[in-house]
Amino acid sequence: MAIRLATTNDRDAIWAILEPMLRRGETYSLPREMTREQALDFWFASGHETFVCEADTKAGVILGTYFLRANQSGGGAHVANCGYVTAHGAEGQGIARAMCLHSLARAKERGFRAMQFNFVVSTNERAVKLWLSLGFEVVGRLPGAFEHPGRGFVDAVVMYRALL
């Protein structure tokens, strides 16, 4: 697979990835009813550097997408934040891992000193395990902070990794 900057030509492919994630409502604290325009405006927001992960074998097939941004401004602008989504049905192929590794390298290149995930839903065990394997630590636990559509109020965790 190859990871490259997203362009406006990728909007359809990115929406095809974001929509099922939003509608399931199990992993991101975003409105489940978000429209295509709202979702793409957020994904391509000012200050977001947006990437796609393309299959090697089939050019034009987008398997995942992520954004990189500063998590805070002012005195907090040296800490990066990312959001990653793998295409539904493409899980288990290392796409999220590849995107995270890419984002860590890109964040270092841009001079960020650390990366923080503000809100990892604790029931998203695959993600928590993956971030732990990539050097992130759980530095905070938000009790009942996420209302999971199937499991009710569950914890979210804050994860952090130095880049230096």
According to CB under 8 A, which one of 72, 88, 91, 129 is a site residue for its own copies? 72
Please, is 57 exposed, middle or buried when counting C-beta atoms within 10 Å of its C-beta (0-12, 13-18, 19+)? Answer: exposed
Q: From CA 54, how far away is CA 87, in angstroms rounded? A: 11
Please tell me whether residue 80 binds its own copies under the rule CB under 8 A.
Answer: no
Buried b (16+ CB within 10 A) or exposed e, 99-126: bbebbbebbeeeebeebbbbbbbbbbee
53 CB neighbour count, 10 Å cutoff: 27
Please tell me whether residue 132 binds its own copies under the rule CB under 8 A.
Answer: no
At residue 93, φ and ψ (nearest 5 deg) are -105, 5
Please tell me whether residue 89 binds its own copies under the rule CB under 8 A.
Answer: no
According to CB under 8 A, which one of 2, 4, 31, 101 is a site residue for its own copies? 31
Which residue's CB is nearer to its own copies, number 52 or number 82?
82
Which residue's CB is nearer to its own copies, number 126 or number 151?
151
Which residue's CB is nearer to its own copies, number 11 or number 148?
148
Please tell me whether residue 76 binds its own copies under the rule CB under 8 A.
Answer: yes
Interacting residue ranges for its own copies, rule: CB under 8 A: 25, 28-32, 72-79, 113-114, 116, 118-119, 121, 139-149, 153, 156, 158, 160, 162
